[in-house]
Amino acid sequence: MGAIRFGTDGWRAIVADEFTMENVRVVAQAIASYTKEMGLQEQAILVGHDTRFLGRRFAEEVVRVLTANQIRTYLVNEAAPTPAVAFGVKHFAASGAVMITASHNPPEYNGMKYIPHYAGPATPVITKRLEEWIARIQETGDVRTMTLEEAKSRKMLQIIVLRPHYEAHLRRLVNTDVLRNSSLEVVVDAMHGAGMGYVSGLLSEAGVKNVGIRETVDAAFGGDLPEPNDKHLALLKKEVVSRGASLGLANDGDADRFGVVDRFGQYVPPNDVLALLTYHLVKNRKLSGRIVRTVATTHLLDRMAAAYGLELVETPVGFKYIGEQMLQGDVLIGGEESGGASILGHIPEKDGVLINLLLAEMCAVEEKGIDQILRDVYDLFGELFHTRLDIQLPEKDRWIHEMVSFPPKQVGPFRVREVNRVDGIKLMLDEGHWVLIRPSGTEPLVRIYCEATSATALEKLKESIRDWFLEVNV
């Protein structure tokens, strides 16, 4: 049995290979042992799952272990979004939650997230401790289980209905009155994930004309990835255009990420969505607070923070770092370029359902299309151009270590004026351009994020980077 590692957001592996009932029991026992170690065993733990293959069965296996360790367990009655389960931790005063999900990974994957008492992603300190418990349990084989029937008879297991409580919370965060009076027409793409019926249902309730697509359970996700990016939203783009809709909104497999398409069927990158949301929260909601972004996320937020007189905080990649900032309070919005965000008044976990509803609210308030509002933002703060390059690199860790130790002085025609080592290596270049180089946590490749102040400069930057990698024999 190989080592079980928690990545950026939980443990993920291929079902029937590493993601087995046996390994799920090991991780569940580690969570039980950690809970007791922290003295939290008197509080219940929530257990949820998304729509993936065997999701319910894996969740029940977690329940069998937790209850055998004398920890009361609340099992969510149906497939649920990760942000709903995280919200449930607070709502039901639980010590934490276990979520069975592999998020936007391919269909053959499943995974486990541990959500601590604060209702956000587990910190590196917590995941390190869980990995230590996992290694010890793998060595001893000491895993306790009881049947679900026995857990119920001992009143250690309770099936809970979570959705109404989560939706009630969302209604408090979204201006449904402005939605009710709008002329919006929205296409909502659940991508066969756990967000089915959430965005479409709440929009319908608010009187917004909408149609839901891919809102059926399909463990194969229609033969696609449940990842709401430009590549995988072809169906949503087509539907928006053919129906003459105002916009298209999508969620990934566990609905913690968002995806957006404008009225012309054009994909709106998360970097731009974060700028739009910041603009809406300040201009229309009259809110303030710190703006938190990861090191890989657009500096357009920096410009906006400066113009609005707000503090800008940069974190390493991973929403857990944004969540840590939110726990300290006074965060207006926290977001990352991969499609995760949360706002003031919400849990410190990314929530694609909430973000999609807020985008609909923004369009209703502005009485404009997303493309028009984005142009307003560019007119005020300037436009930045960004991309990500994935370079295959088998010895990525050694290469990155050398890069961090001996950063280049020049990237093509652009001089390096500053080096940022918050996460990987970020090269701040002349003219406001930047390049971030960091290793993938799951694949033998290096991810390179680029942002430039013009489309021409971005092309030069991409060309220079490709040439530069060739020069170092990649």
Could you give the dihedral angle defined by the CA atoms of residues 358, 12, 121 and 43, in that order, rounded to the nearest 10 degrees? 110
Q: How many domains does the chain have?
A: 3
Closest to 232 in 3D by CA, of 344, 141, 106, 321:
106
Residues 202 and 335 both lie in one domain: yes
Last residue of a domain, one of 162, 192, 224: 162
Note every long-range contact of 314-319, with CB atoms under 8 Å and residues 24 or more positions apart, other chains counting. 314/422, 315/422, 316/422, 316/423, 317/8, 317/423, 317/424, 317/438, 318/8, 318/9, 318/121, 318/294, 319/9, 319/120, 319/121, 319/349, 319/350
Per the domain annotation, does 332 fall within a domain?
yes
Band of pLDDT at residue 278, cut at 50, 70 and 90: very high
Q: Indicate the residue among 162, 189, 217 that finishes a domain.
A: 162
Q: What type of residue sits at position 159?
A: I
Is 351 in the same domain as 415? no
Q: In terms of domains, do 447 and 327 share one?
A: no
Query: Confidence band (pLDDT; 50, 70, 90) for 340?
Result: very high
Shared domain check, 261 and 218: yes
Report yes or no on 125 lying in a domain.
yes
Domain end call among 162, 191, 212: 162
Same domain as 298, residue 282: yes
> Domain range for residue 358?
174-381
Lowest-confidence segment of 154-168, 203-217, 340-354, 398-412 by average pLDDT: 398-412
Residues 364, 399 within the same domain:
no
Distance of alpha carbon 86 from the chain centroid: 12
CATH of the domain at 258: 3.40.120.10
Residue 94: inside a domain? yes
Decide if 425 is inside a domain.
Answer: yes
118 & 185 share domain: no
Q: Is residue 5 part of a domain?
A: no
Residues 361-372, mean pLDDT to the nearest whole number: 98
- Whether residue 346 is contained in a domain is answered as yes
Which pairs from 270-273 meet CB under 8 Å and 24+ separation? 270/335, 270/336, 270/337, 270/338, 270/339, 270/340, 270/341, 271/297, 271/298, 271/300, 271/337, 271/384, 271/386, 272/298, 272/300, 272/374, 272/377, 273/335, 273/339, 273/341, 273/355, 273/359
Looking at the fold, whether 313 and 199 belong to one and the same domain comes out as yes
**412 confidence band (pLDDT: 50, 70, 90):** confident
Q: Which residue has the tokens 């309770």?
A: 158
Q: What is the pLDDT of residues 281-321, one digit of tens each?
A: 999 999 999 999 999 999 999 999 999 999 999 999 999 99
pLDDT of the residue at 280 = 98
Identify the pLDDT of residue 398.
73
Q: β-pairing, 45-49 with 73-76?
A: parallel
Considering the domain architecture, whether residues 374 and 393 belong to the same structural domain is answered as: no
Asked if 8 and 424 touch (Cβ cutoff 8 Å), the reply is: no
Q: What is the mean pLDDT of residues 341-353?
A: 98
Residues 269 and 342 occupy one common structural domain: yes
Burial class, 70, CB count within 10 angstroms (exposed 0-12 / middle 13-18 / buried 19+): middle
Residue 86 resides in a domain: yes
Q: Please indicate, yes or no, whether residues 180 and 41 belong to a single structural domain of this protein.
A: no
Whether 295 is in a domain gets the answer yes
Least confident of 142-156, 231-245, 347-361, 419-433: 419-433
CATH number at residue 439: 3.30.310.50
Confidence of residue 469 (pLDDT cuts 50, 70, 90): low
Lowest mean pLDDT among 79-93, 363-377, 404-418: 404-418
As a whole number of angstroms, the distance between CA 148 and CA 47 comes to: 13
Structure confidence at residue 102 (pLDDT)? 95
In this predicted structure, the answer to whether residue 230 has a pLDDT above a threshold of 80 is yes
Domain identity same for 332 and 454: no
- From the list 257, 304, 258, the residue with the least C-alpha distance to 280 is 304
Three-state SS annotation for the chain: CCCCCCECCEEEEEECCCECHHHHHHHHHHHHHHHHHCCCCCCCEEEEECCCCCHHHHHHHHHHHHHHCCCCEEEECCCCCHHHHHHHHHHCCCCEEEEECCCCCCCCEEEEEEEECCCCCCCHHHHHHHHHHHHHHHHHCCCCCCCHHHHHHCCCEEEECCHHHHHHHHHHHCCHHHHHCCCCEEEEECCCCCCCCHHHHHHHHCCCEEEEECCCCCCCHHHCCCCCCHHHCHHHHHHHHHHCCCEEEEECCCCCCEEEECCCCCEECHHHHHHHHHHHHHHCCCCCCEEEEECCCCCHHHHHHHHHCCCEEEECCCHHHHHHHHHCCCEEEEEECCCEEEECCCCCCCCHHHHHHHHHHHHHHHCCCHHHHHHHHHHHHCCCEEEEEEEECCCHHHHHHHHHHCCCCEECCEEEEEEECCCCEEEEEHHHCEEEEEECCCCCEEEEEEEECCHHHHHHHHHHHHHHHHHCCC
Averaged confidence pLDDT in the chain: 94
Please give the pLDDT value at position 96. Answer: 98
Q: Confidence band (pLDDT; 50, 70, 90) for 474?
A: very low
Q: State residue 473's pLDDT score.
A: 46
- What percent of the chain stands above pLDDT 70? 97
